[in-house]
Structure 1
Amino acid sequence: MILHVVIIVILLLLAFSAFVGYKMAKPPRLIGEWTPKDLGFDYEDITFETEDGLKLSGWWIPNGSDKTVIPLHGYTASRWYELYMRPAVEFLLKENYNVLVFDFRVHGKSGGNYTTIGDKEIADVRAAVRWLKENHPEEARKIALLGFSMGAMLTIRSLVEVEEVCCGVADSPPVKLDKTGARGLRYFAGLPEWLHVFVKPFTKLFSGGKEVYTLSYADKVRKPLLLIAGEKDPLVAVEEVREFYERNRAVNPYVELWVTDAPHVRTLKLHPEEWKKRVREFLRKYL
Structure 2
Amino acid sequence: MRKLLKGTGYTLLILFVLFNTMTAFNAYKLTHFYNRNEIDSTPHAGGLHTAGVIFFGQKSYKSLLKDVPATPYDTFTVITPDHVSLAGWHIRPDTVINGTVLLFHGHAGCRSDVVKEADAFHRMGYDVYLVDFRAHGVSEGNVCTVGYDESKDVKALYDYALAKGADKKRMVLWGISMGAATVMKAVSDFDLKPGKLILEMPFGSLLDAVKGRLHIMQLPPEPLSTFLTFWGGTEQGFWAFGHKPWEYARKINCPVLLQWGIHDPRVTEAETHHIFQNIDTPHKTLIKYANSGHESLYKKEPGKWQTVVGEFLQQQ
TM-score for both structures, normalised by structure 1: 0.88
Deviation at 1:141, TM superposition (A): 6.6
Partner amino acid, structure 1, of 2:199: A
Deviation at 1:129, TM superposition (A): 1.4
Kindly indicate whether structure 1 or structure 2 has the higher relative contact order, using CA contacts under 8 Å at least 6 residues apart. 1
1:149 lines up with 2:177 in the alignment: yes
Deviation at 1:266, TM superposition (A): 4.0
Structure 2 unaligned blocks of 5 or more: 1-6, 34-60
Partner amino acid, structure 1, of 2:67: W
What is residue 226 of structure 1 aligned with on the other side? 257
What is residue 12 of structure 1 aligned with on the other side? 18
What is residue 67 of structure 2 aligned with on the other side? 34
* Identity across matched positions, percent: 26
Distance 1:70 1:25, change over 3 A: same
Cα-to-partner distance string for 1:115-167 (whole Å, 9 max, x where unaligned):
11111111101111111222x21577721111100111123334443434211
Structure 1 unaligned blocks of 5 or more: none
What is residue 199 of structure 1 aligned with on the other side? 228
Partner amino acid, structure 2, of 1:31: L
Q: Distance in 1 between matches of 2:296 and 2:87?
A: 25
What is residue 281 of structure 1 aligned with on the other side? 311
Distance 1:9 1:159, change over 3 A: closer
1:245 lines up with 2:251 in the alignment: no
RMSD: 2.1
Deviation at 1:90, TM superposition (A): 1.5
Counterpart mapping for 1:160-199 below 5 A: 160=188, 161-187=190-216, 189-194=217-222, 195-199=224-228
Cα-to-partner distance string for 1:154-191 (whole Å, 9 max, x where unaligned):
2333444343421110000111331221221232x443
What secondary structure is seen at the aligned counterpart in 2 of 1:246?
helix
Q: Distance in 1 between matches of 2:203 and 2:20?
A: 26
4+ residue stretches of structure 1 with deviation over 6 A?
none
Partner amino acid, structure 1, of 2:23: S
TM-score for both structures, normalised by structure 2: 0.80
Number of paired residues?
276
Distance 1:141 1:186, change over 3 A: closer
What is residue 130 of structure 1 aligned with on the other side? 159
1:67 lines up with 2:103 in the alignment: no
What is residue 88 of structure 2 aligned with on the other side? 58
Larger Rg: 2
1:79 lines up with 2:79 in the alignment: no
Partner amino acid, structure 1, of 2:32: K
Q: Which residue of the other structure, out of 250, 255, 258, is the alignment partner of 2:287?
A: 258
Deviation at 1:4, TM superposition (A): 4.8
Are 1:153 and 1:214, in contact at CA under 8 Å, matched by a contact in 2? yes
